Chains A and B, each alone.
Chain A
Amino acid sequence: MTENAATTILFDDSARYDTPRPHSPQGRRMFLLGTGTVAVGLIVLLLVRMLHGPVFGGSPVLWTQFFPAAEFLRQETVTDLNAPQADEIAADGPQGDWRLATLPYTGVPRTNVIPSASHGHAMTSWYRFKVAPPATLGKMSNDISFYLPRWKTEGRLAVYQNGHLVWRSHGDIIWNSFNRPVLIDLPIAGPSVILLRMDTLPGLGGAITPAWVGQHDALFWRYRIRIALQCIVPGVFAVVLLSMAVVLFFVALARPDSDLYLLFVFAAVLYTTRILHFLGPLDPSIISPVWFGWATVNSMCWLIVVGWLFCCGLAEVEFRWLKRLLVWGMIACTVATSPLFLSSATISALALCAYIFCFTLSTPTMPLLMAAMWRRRSGSGMLLLFWNMLMFPIAVHDMLMANYYVSIGHIYLLPYITPDLFLSCLYILCRRYINALGLAERSNQILETRLHAQEVTLRDTYERLHQIEQRELLVAERQRLMRDMHDGLGSTLTGAIHMADHAASHEVLAQTLKDCLFDLKLTVDSLEPVDADLLMLLANLRFRLTPRLRAQGVMLEWAVTPLPPLQWLTPSSALHILRILQEVITNILKHAQASHIRLSTETEPPGILVRVEDNGLGFCPDQRTNEGRGLHNICWRANALAGRVDWRLGNPGTNFMLWLPIEQPATRAQPGSP
């Protein structure tokens, strides 16, 4: 269920990034968990239903004979273990001191004292079973099988029925078999004698479990369950873990700080190597037996070390010296046990020492690791440590079993406990992954929030700047208008009041007030947007002047041409231009006695020209000093526009010329008041 839960959570969270979820995360989790439980339940139910028939409701007509004991004989022989066993022997086996042995029976105990020179000596154990089927069986079936759940030795096995060979073991004599059940079809269905001949290398042990003889259908399920538990399931575990390791390997490849992932990958590879041991028999033509032995024994030791390193890494506790000792010790062990120096049999004998070395060194650190996990409140870490510690009694059990101290009818448990360890690792790694995803999501949110805050700040700043700019613009505009009112409108109105006080004539007073209104109109016009079009401004001036010109009977010839846009034509510049032309035309009307005025424009890059010509009395600025103030004003205004003015005597009359730049110089000195 650990795996189930982990993947459930994993998928739940990863889905968040792929598609919008139709339901709440809790609902989805409940749904997935429910579905998973139902699926597991269904599978269990199916298995029970499948096994129910053969195991419990076994047909009463099927016959089996169980052998809880066998006749046993041990001999010390000179046997060439590389030559095949004899095909025919005496039906009752060799003569000797046969005695009854209760199965499982260790016929040859392990001494671990390997004779320096065995020279073909072997321990040969004989097991004899008397098969006695009921007389009726012959009519029913001749499909009789012999089933041996486990035989174990560093040697080989042969099975005879009535002296004829029916089965012999194959493969390397050291690694061929300690784990594979035997199911043999017997050629003779009637009463017979079955002989097992087990040849064992001197100093190493040999044993068999109780055996069965019976109809095949009555025995096959026992065989199937055994082979599944002993070989197939560990193999499947290995494949599953390897595929997880592949995924984690690529994660480790992509992430710099992923030592734990790499340790998991190592552990999966080591486990797989170790499991090869359980999948025997080993065929020496595929892998050299010595290298196979070296790899499987060392993989187990390394697995212990890697598991320990994983726990240390997870608890973030460092036992620097112990770590060095274990790793370098294991490296030394790996090198020392390499087939370059030792034989296959020696490696097998040394395996136990290596296991004990690893366990004794790593086990004392477990309480410290547990304390570290407790401090971190890491439930999964403690679970992992629990599994790791559980490994110890399991390993002891398996060791004892391997050394014939525990019944060989048991099943080796390490292949089962180790995947659990892996699943806890995987669970922890998944949690880390999910947490990392959550963290990334949160940081994204935080980033977004910050970004938003910065945007707001930026907008505020911009807004403030804009307001300041607007305010400054308003202040400037107000100052300009004030100055204009003060100089123009204000003084004219003051003058009018003086005139009224001194009983000036109505015409003069009316004219003064009209001038005043005219000034005001020009000010208003200067505020109208003209879109950089000087012609527009001139047109409006004409519109304003028309009544006056008409009143004085002066003819205005309008000879304007389209002009390029003047981007600098702001209200204040516009007012400057209007005032210049107003002054010039007023002068003509007042003093020149002209009957015809011609206003024309020209484009003369980099500027434009506004020309006002009249046919009145000629006028040159220096001749009329009493008009100084007006002329000074004109010059000042033209200067403020980075333009210039010029008067020339015409024939007759005066030519006035206002030159303005199309582009204003980038830095124009702010004009002061005249």
Chain B
Amino acid sequence: MEKPDSLRIAILEDDVTFHDAMARAIAAQPDMALHAAATSRAAGLAMLDGPAADVLLADIGLPDGSGLDVVRAAVERWPDCAVLVNTTFGDETDVMTAIASGAVGYLLKDSDDSQRIADIRSVHQGGSPISPMIARRILSRFRTQLPQPAEREPSPLSGREHEVLQKISQGFTSSEIAGELQISAHTVQTHIRRIYRKLAVTSRMEAVTLGRRHGWLND
């Protein structure tokens, strides 16, 4: 049963094997609890009506639609919940769209239980997993973002954030970067989380700008 101060975890996943594996791994942790579970987009959206979880593990390819809809809704409805998307390859396309929709990271399906549990903990503590490919993608995305009025523009990457992304894209780990920049590994994690937020905001702004440009939105 749910312990009072345990980490509440919600799962949106249609892959029964992965779902069961995750459920077992969570049950094995004394400070974690499976808060809710859903196996389709509709059930996922319904799940958001219930009490908020601390961490949501969401699959993107669902039988009745895209898990990204649930991710977007979760950011609105469960603002304090950290959303992770489940992915096999951690490839650019899936993860980037998920982050742009408000996810703060991804969970590799093939990594072992302990790694996944560690990732969940890290996310809850404000960290965000990142791969060199994604770092690279974010860098180029911020380089070529749409020109907008200055007051609406979300602050572009700070120098430090830029530096961190650069290092990650060259293959350095968080702790290596922390050592080189003489900051704590936690700070590096915070940077990455902030970068993700900016990416999501930028994506929203771009959507709005695009909409306005095409006359879909009124001022």
Contacts and interface: CB of A to CB of B under 8 A. Distances in A.
Interface stretch (B28-36, B63-71, B130-138, B206-214): B130-138
B103 to A, nearest CB: 18
Interface string A536-557: 1011111100110000000000
B140 to A, nearest CB: 8
B169 interface: yes
B132 A540 contact: yes
Interface stretch (A158-166, A486-494, A521-529): A521-529
A562 B111 CA distance: 30
Interface stretch (B44-52, B170-178, B197-205): B170-178
Q: Is the interface on chain B under 10, 10 to 19, 20 to 34, or 35 or more residues?
A: 10 to 19
A536 B112 CA distance: 25
B92 interface: yes
A542 B172 CA distance: 9
A558 interface: yes
Interface string A462-495: 0000000000000000000000000000000000
A533 B91 CA distance: 17
A543 B111 contact: no
A14 to B, nearest CB: 45
Contacts of A525: 91, 133
B171 A539 contact: yes
A560 interface: yes
A538 B133 contact: no
Interface in A505-526: 514, 517, 521, 524-525
A541 B168 CA distance: 13
B91 A543 contact: no
Nearest to A557: B176
Contact of A528 (B91, B111, B172): B91
A528 B171 contact: no
Given A517-B110, A525-B133, A536-B136, A543 B171 contact: yes
A536 B132 contact: yes
Range for the number of chain A residues in contact with chain B: 20 to 34
B112 to A, nearest CB: 8
A589 to B, nearest CB: 17
Contacts of A558: 171-173, 176
Contact of B131 (A514, A531, A543): A543
B171 A521 contact: no
B89 interface: yes
Contacts of B136: 530, 533, 536
Contacts of A543: 131-133, 171
Contacts of B169: 535-536, 539
Interface in B151-192: 168-173, 176
B170 A535 contact: yes
Given A524-B89, A539-B132, A547 B111 contact: yes
B188 to A, nearest CB: 15
A540 B170 contact: no
A531 B143 CA distance: 14
A528 B176 CA distance: 25
A524 B91 contact: yes
B116 to A, nearest CB: 11
B115 interface: yes
Given A524-B89, A524-B91, A528-B92, A540 B133 contact: yes
A617 to B, nearest CB: 26
A517 B131 CA distance: 18
A539 to B, nearest CB: 3
B94 to A, nearest CB: 11
Contacts of A562: 170
A530 B173 CA distance: 19
A528 B170 contact: no
A560 B170 contact: yes
B171 A538 contact: yes
A560 B170 CA distance: 8
Interface centre among B111, B169, B171, B176 (most CB of A within 10 A): B171
Nearest to B92: A528
Given A538-B171, A547-B115, A558-B176, A521 B89 contact: yes
A274 B140 CA distance: 89
Nearest to B172: A558
A184 to B, nearest CB: 92
Nearest to B110: A517
B97 to A, nearest CB: 15
Contacts of A514: 110
A539 B170 contact: yes
Nearest to A542: B171
Nearest to A563: B170
Nearest to B109: A517
Contacts of B92: 528
Contact of B171 (A524, A547, A560): A560
A312 B113 CA distance: 107
Contacts of B172: 539, 558
A514 B108 CA distance: 13
Nearest to A547: B111
Interface string B52-92: 00000000000000000000000000000000000001011
Question: Which of A530, A531, A536 has the most CB atoms of chain B within a 10 A radius of its CB?
Answer: A536
Contacts of B176: 558
Contacts of A524: 89, 91
B158 to A, nearest CB: 22
Contacts of B111: 547
A525 B91 CA distance: 8
A517 B140 CA distance: 29
A597 B194 CA distance: 33
A411 B57 CA distance: 116
A547 B115 CA distance: 9
Interface in A254-288: none
Nearest to B176: A558
A547 B136 CA distance: 21
A535 B139 CA distance: 15
Contacts of B133: 525, 528, 536, 539-540, 543
A530 B172 CA distance: 17
B207 to A, nearest CB: 23
Interface of B: 89, 91-92, 110-112, 115, 131-133, 136, 140, 168-173, 176
Given A524-B89, A539-B132, A543-B133, 7 more contacts: A514-B110, A517-B110, A535-B170, A539-B133, A539-B172, A540-B131, A540-B133
18 contacts: A514-B110, A528-B91, A528-B133, A533-B136, A535-B169, A535-B170, A535-B171, A536-B132, A536-B169, A539-B132, A539-B133, A539-B168, A539-B170, A539-B171, A539-B172, A542-B171, A543-B133, A547-B112
Interface of A: 514, 517, 521, 524-525, 528, 530-531, 533, 535-536, 538-543, 546-547, 558, 560, 562
List the 4 closest pairs (A to B, CB-CB), nearest first. A539-B171, A539-B132, A542-B171, A543-B131
